Chains A and B, each alone.
Chain A
Amino acid sequence: QSALTQPPSASGSPGQSVTISCTGTSSDVGGYNYVSWYQQHPGKAPKLIIYEVTKRPSGVPDRFSGSKSGITASLSVSGLQAEDEADYFCSSYAGNYNLVFGGGTKLTVL
């Protein structure tokens, strides 16, 4: 069982928006502004798309955005495209070198 809780699946039609939640505790998500999100296509390594809750690495489209409220972080994807279909994982620093992950959400573009 993963430390952070994500819904197993999410879906949306092309052009629509979708939001994926990630719920932790006051010891991880709620205690640090170090939530990150990763996109993983089948057979590929995860790719960082959001760090420090809201920041995007260079090259990541601004259709991807992150937020946090209390112990729940969220990843929003607007203007869904076929290439966004992938697994998405959240992660949070939890102090003392601990980094915890969510179980992943499979995003389907209908």
Chain B
Amino acid sequence: EVQLVESGGGLVQPGGSLRLSCVAPESIFRSEWMNWVRQTPGKGLERVAGITGDGSEAYSVDSVKGRFTISRDNTKNSLFLQMNSLRAEDTATYYCTRGLRWNDYWGQGTLVTVSS
């Protein structure tokens, strides 16, 4: 079974920072659009950021623009999400996923809790 493995979640105070990481098999990572999708009980699923296969273009939802930055290291088959100025409403399980128009691979998720 193909595995995307996320790490880096945890408890952080409002205004703090976290860096999420995701490692994927080269066979599914290379040259593919990758995302960070978050899930909360109240707001459901939301793609917060995405990036092209070569890292040249990135997308982020308005609510995280200027605070979250998605990046990738294709030499290490790794995807990252740098999250700054975290807010309580960023509390969610964050999934690493593949695909622009649909998400065919998902990691197990990493929980981010923003609370004082």
Contacts and interface: CB of A to CB of B under 8 A. Distances in A.
A104 interface: yes
Interface string A43-84: 001111001100001000000000000000000000000000
Interface string A22-55: 0000000000101010100000011110011000
Interface string A80-110: 0000000001010100011101111000000
Task: Report the contact-size class of chain A (Cβ under 8 Å from the partner).
Answer: 20 to 34
Interface string B87-116: 000000001000011111011110000000
A89 B95 CA distance: 15
Contact of B101 (A45, A47, A93): A93
B103 A48 contact: yes
Contact of B44 (A51, A99, A103): A103
B95 A99 contact: no
Given A48-B104, A99-B100, 20 more contacts: A2-B43, A2-B45, A36-B101, A46-B39, A46-B45, A46-B95, A46-B106, A48-B106, A51-B101, A52-B102, A89-B44, A93-B100, A97-B59, A99-B35, A99-B102, A101-B45, A101-B46, A102-B44, A104-B44, A104-B45
Interface of A: 2, 32, 34, 36, 38, 45-48, 51-52, 57, 89, 91, 93, 97-99, 101-104
